[in-house]
A and B are shown apart, each in its own frame.
Chain A
């Protein structure tokens, strides 16, 4: 069964420090994509970063990087130099090559950045 697991319901971090949000996935499909989205209290899902299953290098986007370990089926998000505005829900999602590209989401991790 295709599934995304986020085991950390809540995390907190001090401002300016780095934080890692965990994500593991389950699929037998060899071709898939992994996404991280941020959802502030306003409700909108904001795209952060993408990793394809065949990508050789870990994806990076500014302060966001994705620690992709294919053999472990994990795709952890690393946020460096945390800012107060990073406080939000973070969702890991998987897109399969079939199934018309719908996304399967995890339950999310709530991140609180403390000054």
Chain B
């Protein structure tokens, strides 16, 4: 595919359930970012991967949030024991190298926790 893809596009979870959100970056892109966008706000950084290495996880809001990219391509963001405040759009972005290239975003996963 030409762009970043994310699945599922929509996810409804009951409070306390675990969820897994998937990101397929642009083929060959080294850098991968996860952002969280609350309703009516701009995206906020969660975590960053360079290939399979998670170099920055300073934005993860709690230890319930976990991300991985085991083979340096597809990434999964996992949220354990979801809470209502986790309801947001989760955006994935990728860029070509390890430097300051433009980040290209996927369509996002809209998570609603009831």
Whole-angstrom CA separation of A106 from B110 in the bound complex: 20
> Interface residue count for B (Cβ, 8 Å)?
28
Residue ID in chain A nearest B41 by CB atoms: A107
Other-chain residue from B40, B55, B102 in contact with A100 (beta carbon distance below 8 A): B55
Q: How far is the CA of A43 from the CA of B108 in the complex (A)?
A: 7
A102 to chain B, nearest CB (A): 4
> 1/0 per position for B52-91, CB-CB distance to A under 8 A?
0001100100000000000000000000000000000101
Alpha-carbon distance A37/B93, docked complex (angstroms): 12
B48 touches A102 (CB 8 A): yes
Query: What is the chain B residue whose CB lies nearest that of A33?
Result: B100
A47 CB contacts on chain B under 8 angstroms: 102-105
Q: Give how many A residues have a beta carbon under 8 Å from the other chain's beta carbons.
A: 25
The answer on a CB contact under 8 Å between A44 and B45 is no
B residues near A30, Cβ cutoff 8 Å:
none
Residue of A nearest to B93 (CB): A45
Q: Which 6 A-B pairs have the closest CB atoms?
A: A105-B42, A45-B105, A102-B45, A44-B107, A100-B56, A43-B108
Would you give 10 A-B contacts (Cβ < 8 Å), ordered by A? A35-B102, A46-B105, A47-B104, A91-B42, A91-B43, A100-B48, A103-B45, A103-B103, A107-B42, A108-B41
